[in-house]
Structures are given as structure tokens and as C-alpha cells.
Homo-oligomer: A and B are copies of this chain.
Amino acid sequence: MAENFVVVDGGVVAPKGFKSNGHKDRKYGAALIYSETDAVAAGVFTTNKVFAHPVALSKDVLVNNNVFRAIVANSGNANCFTKGGMEDAELLVKKAAELLKIPENQVLSASTGVIGRKMPMDIITLEVERAFENMDLENSNENASKAIMTTDAFPKTVAVEFEVKDKKIRIGGIAKGAGMIAPNMLHATMLGFITTDIEISKEDLTNSLQKATDESFNNAVVDGDMSTNDTVYVLANAQSGVKYTDCKDEFDEALTYVSKELAKMIVSDGEGAKKLIEATVYGAETKEDAKKASMSIVRSLLLKTAFFGADPNWGRIAAAVGYSGAEMDMANFDIIIGDISSEKQAILVKAGEQIADCGTPELKLAEEIMKEDKIKIIVDLKMGSFENTAFGCDLGYEYVKINSEYTT
């Protein structure tokens, strides 16, 4: 790749000085991520006005403290809208702090699972204990990424490495999320935990995370529902010996890459999804317009089902851009559909003129492309110079099956 970094193994334990592990027993799981030395932290959270207890707790801890050592997370229960939920959230943190022998206010937490059901604290604290055992295992990153899964079909992990003045810096992450993935959030959209050994201030880390999130998790759509529990954390423990101020662009680029890869894994794992859809809108009058139009494409239920059925019903792309709220002129815009894995591209609309109709080679080519696994939609609005890429997936029978039987 053309980027200034290489992809490495290890996920959240790839950066120096981090340990991790997780354990899951049927519905319930827990994961721990631990820094051997003091780290700074940043977090982004759901903007839903109904939010879970661990979100409320960790937001507060994050504001009031400057040193962090660990993240604890559980799956199977969201600890949202539950009686005594704040006490349960505090208990979860307390358990992790006791095991790791660190102060409670140095632990960030997150929960994912069903809303409105009391946390089974006996089961969950047991899972935390099990996660704590054998933190040095070879596959501890894999265990952690699996322990936070709910409806996910596969664990999500990525890590990169780059060099500054002959020193290596690493960024690693794990994420979970397959449903309740939504657009138009100011902040995060699922659980994502990132570690890095760079030396960075809390303020810089917060800014870098917000920028990376806007280009990645906030561009990802599975079903348009915004969760009460979305959280992304970054811990940075300075062990690489490299200062952020010496490699701002490289670090931001690498952090955005890690976040984008995790976001793409999430949409590729959209409940029951088989296809990754990347929608890029060019030529928008504003960045916001580019975002609205690209998100509208990946959000459209009619398009998602058309992708599922490989139906080249491209009028739905035009309709989705048209109702997105972005400024556009239907007499002058382009729609192109392409296969990400090859160079195949079909021009459907050119300067507002319909190119693809029944029997045309363009429609035939579009039909072929619709059968691929990774599909690119390109829309040029020709109104200005802003662009945005949103990530989505198809929607099929499996999505209905998973979500119609979730709590039963």
C-alpha cells in the first residue's frame, strides 16, 4: 500500500507495554486491556439521549482524570435502563481494578448487549476473573476481541507500525459491532478499543481520535439505529519513546487507517451482510453535503436490499442522493458503479443524462458488478470540491432473522 506504515499482527497488544485477554461463556463475555505503565486516554461516546450506565460513568472518569491503565468491557448486557445499573457499572470497574491492582478511577468501561435487563453481575464478574487469568497468552488479543462480540460473525482486529527517527510506533485496535450501527453521530457508533505506544497529550489524543472517528466509524451504517452504548477508547502509554509532535501527520493517518479498517470490518459484518458497499460522493458544495449524500446511499433500505439481490436498480441511488438534503442539480450529476476488487466500472448517469437503460451494455455491466462482494458507488455532484466516503452493506434475510429473535 502507499501509506507510510505496515500492517502487523497483535491488535491491542501490538504496541509496547499492553496486555489483554478476554473470556466468553455462551451469551456473556468480558475483556480486559491493560497498560503496564501510565497512559493517557481519549474517548468518544454515543450522542443518544438515552445512554447506558457505563457511558455515564466513563465520561465522568475521563473528564476528571489524566492517568489511565485499563479498559474493561462486557458483552451480553448493555447495562442501559436498568435499576441499580450505576452500581453495577461501578462494580464492574471495581472488579477490574482489584484484579489489576490499580485505582478504580484509572479504569474505563463499556457494555454491549440487550437493553433494559438487569446485569447478571455474578456471571459477568466471573468472566472478568477468567479474562484476567493468563493475560500473557499468545492469543490474548484474539480472546479479547472475541469476548466482546454479540451478534458479530467474526472478531475484528488490526494493528499498524511506522517508524520515526528509527523508532517504531504501533497502533492496534479491536472492535465489535454488527447491528445498531448508525449514521449522523457526532461521536462513536460501536465498541472500539485502540492502544498505542506513542507519547501524546490528552488534548492531542482527543483531537486525533475525533478526526479519525469522523472519517471511519461515523461513516459506517448497518441499519441506521444509534446505540445507547457506542464507545471508542484510545490508550497511549508513551513506551515507543516517540513524541506525537514529531510525527503528527503520520500518526493521524495511521490512527485513521486503523479506525477505518475496524469500521469496514463492522459493516462487512453487518448482521447477515455479505457485501461491503463504499459510497463516495465527490463535488459536493460542503463536507456536510458530501456526508449527507454518501450516508444516504449506504443507509437506503431499498438499495441495501437491491445489493442483496444483485438488482441493478440504480434509480434508487439517484433517489437516495435526491432526498439526502445535499445540494444537487438532477440535470448535472454522475452515477458510476464499480467493483472494488477489479477495475470494472459502469457509468449509469453522466451529466444528468441516463446512460443505463434496459438492453444497454452499461446496465449489463452494472448487473455483473452488483454480484461482486465489494462494490463502489461513485456520485459526482459537480457543485463544489468536497467529498466523503461512507461504508455500508447489503441487507438480507439473515438481518431479519437475527433481529426478530434477539431477546427470545
Q: Which residues of A contact B (CB under 8 A)?
A: 46-51, 78, 80-83, 114-118, 179-180, 182, 223-228, 299-302, 305-306, 308-309, 311-316, 318-323, 326, 328, 330, 348-349, 353-354, 356-358, 395-397, 399-401, 403-408
Contact = CB atoms under 8 A, between A and B. Distances in A.
Nearest to A326: B49
A403 B306 contact: yes
B228 A318 contact: yes
A408 B309 contact: yes
B49 A81 contact: no
A318 B116 contact: yes
B397 A319 contact: no
30 contacts: A49-B322, A49-B323, A50-B322, A50-B328, A80-B315, A80-B318, A81-B315, A81-B318, A82-B357, A114-B315, A115-B319, A116-B314, A116-B318, A116-B354, A116-B356, A117-B358, A118-B357, A179-B302, A182-B323, A225-B302, A226-B322, A227-B319, A228-B319, A305-B399, A305-B404, A311-B408, A312-B407, A313-B407, A397-B400, A400-B400
B323 A400 contact: no
B406 A311 contact: yes
A168 B248 CA distance: 77
A48 B320 CA distance: 8
A22 B80 CA distance: 54
B396 A400 contact: yes
A182 B341 CA distance: 34
Contacts of A226: 319, 322-323
Given A400-B395, A403-B301, A403-B305, A315 B224 contact: no
Nearest to A224: B301
A199 B77 CA distance: 61
Nearest to A182: B323
Contacts of A80: 315, 318
Contacts of A309: 403-406, 408
Contacts of A403: 301-302, 305-306, 309
Given A353-B83, A405-B311, A225 B319 contact: yes
A315 B78 contact: yes
A407 B323 CA distance: 21
A114 B83 CA distance: 50
Contacts of A300: 224-225
Contacts of A358: 117-118
Given A83-B353, A224-B300, A228-B318, 11 more contacts: A47-B323, A48-B322, A82-B354, A116-B354, A116-B356, A117-B358, A225-B300, A225-B302, A225-B323, A311-B406, A396-B400
Contact of A354 (B83, B114, B312, B314): B83
Nearest to A320: B225
B319 A357 contact: no
A296 B308 CA distance: 25
A296 to B, nearest CB: 9
Contacts of A182: 323
A394 to B, nearest CB: 8
A392 to B, nearest CB: 13
Which 4 A/B pairs are nearest by Cβ-Cβ distance?
A115-B315, A309-B404, A50-B322, A305-B403
Contacts of A400: 305, 308, 395-397, 399-400
